[in-house]
Amino acid sequence: MASSNTTEAIEALAAEIGENIYIDVAKWHLYLRDAHLHTTLAEQIYPLLTNKNLSEDQVQQILQRIPVKLGGGKREVPLADLLPMQCQVNLMDLLEEYQDSL
């Protein structure tokens, strides 16, 4: 049963991330749900939230480790490089609120 609860919690977190956080490409906002990156990010961040171990540095490290393929895979760029600063701030706020609700 705990696995089901964890899956639901990750899906809820992914939905929040997907609806609110976007990458900026040539001033176009591509929300992470549309880029299919929201679940990957939620799965990697969720353990930090459950351990009450959330820090901006750790989130930055996770964002650096998630590759985003561009040009049909010709190039990979870390997710951190595609998120505007305001989105990174919004992501931290969203994660802190989510952690408080756990």
pLDDT in tens, 69-91: 999 999 999 999 999 999 999 99
On the 0-12 / 13-18 / 19+ scale of CB atoms within 10 A, 18 is: buried
Residue 2 has pLDDT above 70, yes or no: no
- How far is it, in rounded angstroms, from Cα 16 to Cα 5? 17
The count of domains in the chain is 1
pTM of the model: 0.92
- What average pLDDT score do residues 61-68 get? 98
To the nearest whole number, what is the mean pLDDT of the chain? 95
Q: What pLDDT shows up at residue 1?
A: 41
Give the range of the structural domain holding residue 86, as residue numbers without chain letter: 2-101
